[in-house]
Chain A
Amino acid sequence: MALLAFIMAISLRDIFYALLCFVVGFIMISLSLYILSAPMLAAVQAIVYAGAIMVLFAFSVMLWAPSSRKNMISSREMVLALLVTVTLSFELCHTIIKNIHRYQENSPSIAEIAQAVFNEHGLLFELSSFVLLGALFASVITVKTILHKERSFRDSKP
Chain B
Amino acid sequence: MIPLEHILLVSSAIFGIGVLGIMMADSVLRFLIAVEVLLNASALGFIGCALSYGDMQGYVMFFMILVVASAEVSIGLVILFCCHRWFKTVDLSSIKRLYE
> Using a CB-CB cutoff of 8 Å, which residues 41-96 of chain B contact chain A?
43-44, 47-48, 51-54, 56-57, 59-60, 62-64, 66-75, 77-78, 80-82, 84-85, 89-94
Q: Which chain B positions have C-beta within 8 A of A92?
A: 12, 15-16
Q: Which chain A positions have C-beta within 8 A of B33?
A: 9-10, 18-19, 22, 57
A61 to B84, CA, bound (A): 12
Pairwise interchain contact A96-B90, C-beta atoms closer than 8 A:
no
- Picked from A93, A115, A129, the residue with its CB within 8 Å of the CB of B12 is A93
A101 to B20, CA, bound (A): 28
Pairwise interchain contact B37-A103, C-beta atoms closer than 8 A:
no
Contacts A10-B24, A15-B27, A103-B2 given; indicate if A71 touches B94 (C-beta within 8 A): yes
Pairwise interchain contact A139-B78, C-beta atoms closer than 8 A:
yes
A52 to B29, CA, bound (A): 16
Pairwise interchain contact B59-A41, C-beta atoms closer than 8 A:
yes
Size bracket, chain B contacts: 35 or more
Q: Which chain A positions have C-beta within 8 A of B20?
A: 10, 81-82, 85
With CB as the reference atom, state the residue of chain B lying closest to A84: B23
> Using a CB-CB cutoff of 8 Å, which residues 107-157 of chain A contact chain B?
107-108, 112-113, 115-117, 120-121, 124-125, 128-129, 131-132, 134-136, 138-139, 142-143, 146, 150
Q: Which chain A positions have C-beta within 8 A of B27?
A: 15, 66
A136 to B13, CA, bound (A): 32
With CB as the reference atom, state the residue of chain B lying closest to A149: B85
Say how far A142's CB is from chain B's closest CB, in angstroms: 5
Contacts A6-B14, A10-B24, A71-B93 given; indicate if A142 touches B19 (C-beta within 8 A): no
Say how far B62's CB is from chain A's closest CB, in angstroms: 6
- Picked from B13, B68, B74, the residue with its CB within 8 Å of the CB of A89 is B13
Q: List 28 A-B contacts (CB under 8 A).
A: A6-B37, A9-B37, A10-B20, A15-B29, A29-B14, A29-B40, A45-B43, A48-B66, A56-B74, A70-B91, A73-B24, A77-B23, A85-B20, A85-B23, A92-B12, A96-B8, A96-B12, A102-B3, A103-B3, A103-B7, A103-B52, A105-B51, A106-B52, A106-B54, A116-B57, A135-B72, A146-B81, A146-B85
Q: Which residues of B contact A (CB under 8 A)?
A: 1-5, 7-10, 12-21, 23-24, 26-27, 29-30, 32-34, 36-37, 40, 43-44, 47-48, 51-54, 56-57, 59-60, 62-64, 66-75, 77-78, 80-82, 84-85, 89-94
